[in-house]
Amino acid sequence: MTEQHNPANAVVLVNLGTPDEPTPGAVRTFLREFLSDHRVVETPRLVWYPILEGIILRVRPQRSARKYASIWRPEGSPLMYWSQRQRDKLAAALDGRAEVHVAMRYGSPSVGDVLTRLHGSGVRRVLVVPMYPQYSASCAGTVFDEVARWMLGSRDQHEVRVSRAFPRSPAYIEALATALERSWETTGRPDFASGDKLVTSFHSIPVAMHEAGDPYRAECETTVALLRERLGLGADDVCLRFQSVFGRAEWLGPKTIDTMDELARSGTRRVDVICPGFMADCLETLEEIDILNRATFLEAGGSEFHYVPWGNDSPGCVATLIEQVSRGLAGWADWATPAGPAGS
């Protein structure tokens, strides 16, 4: 059997995670694990845990469960559904060069469980790909931590490579631009000369993390600059905004939802919104952007709101993954250029 068809290589795609079901109990379990990670909330544990257990986990799960229920698919969590579709399409494109698995940083299947299962099946070379195009210690950094934790507890370790981030990846920038251009073939190109806007919305992080040296904001700015250049748009045509802010700490802004209200009230007729930091549709894109932000813009006087998905199992998203995986598996798999995305 040739190296190309040897299951000694594995790729693990790691996303943030999702509750198992849209119920307060399942959401509480998920949030407890997520918000207990010191990379996510850097408040000292003695201060944070009473707040988490005494307030947040008593109040937020019920509210969040309703939001999850509003976007839940017949197959289950949108994030899990699209992650599995990405796995299947990437595996088809790799054509036996490596196994492809999905793991969630919080919830199941966990990173540790997937690594243990791969080890038990004889796999010894693993490429871990955090599904975050821009690096932040509170996102991709937590994946590095979890892989290191597994290795610390393992006597016979994998040979592991971890992809860091890809904010300027050519395939990624092309995937974003192509998604917008294809959307505009249906909805018409925004009239930027008359004030229509393209809003790029990224998950925010606390300002304290940014000031401590986290490169996240700079990498978001890099992505937007390259996307704007690829589309031939001016600086005033594209807004970089941040979403998913919670708690009382100061977070990177401006906030996406505040911008929706401000643009509509200032006379902007149309906004198109794309979320470059989310490779799979989830609560933050489907509920926060396409429901809540849409309602905010239209209720404030806007006329057209278009949320433009770019990731999921699109050819551009699969091509982005192939670009990262081909680099990560270099020297492990017998290839120079992998196959194109399945279905492209």
Spatial separation of the C-alpha atoms in residues 141 and 317, rounded to whole Å:
22
DSSP string, 237-268: GEEEEEE---SSS-BSSSBHHHHHHHHHHTT-
Spatial separation of the C-alpha atoms in residues 340 and 344, rounded to whole Å:
7
The reported pLDDT for the residue numbered 7 is: 54
What is the domain partition of the chain in residue ranges? 3-166+315-328, 170-307
The reported pLDDT for the residue numbered 216 is: 98
The reported pLDDT for the residue numbered 3 is: 34
Instruction: Tell me whether the CATH fold assigned to 3-166+315-328 matches the one assigned to 170-307.
Output: yes
For the cut 60, the answer to whether the pLDDT of residue 6 exceeds it is no
Residues 182-202, mean pLDDT to the nearest whole number: 97
Q: Which has the closest alpha carbon to 21: 66, 58, 59?
A: 66
CB neighbours (10 Å) of residue 187? 13
For the cut 90, the answer to whether the pLDDT of residue 75 exceeds it is yes
| 170-307 under CATH 1.10.3470.10, yes or no | no
The reported pLDDT for the residue numbered 1 is: 32
The reported pLDDT for the residue numbered 30 is: 96
pTM of the shown model: 0.93
The CATH number for 3-166+315-328, chosen from 3.40.350.10, 3.40.50.150, 3.40.50.1400, 2.30.40.10, is 3.40.50.1400
DSSP string, 202-232: EE--BHHHHHTT--HHHHHHHHHHHHHHHHT
List, in order, residues 6 or more apart from 233 with CB less than 8 Å away: 192, 198
Give whole-number Cα distances, 233 to 57, 192, 291, in Å: 44, 9, 27
Model confidence at 343, pLDDT cuts 50, 70, 90, reads very low
CB neighbours (10 Å) of residue 305? 20
For the cut 50, the answer to whether the pLDDT of residue 269 exceeds it is yes
Annotated ligand binding at 284? The verdict is: yes
For the cut 90, the answer to whether the pLDDT of residue 5 exceeds it is no
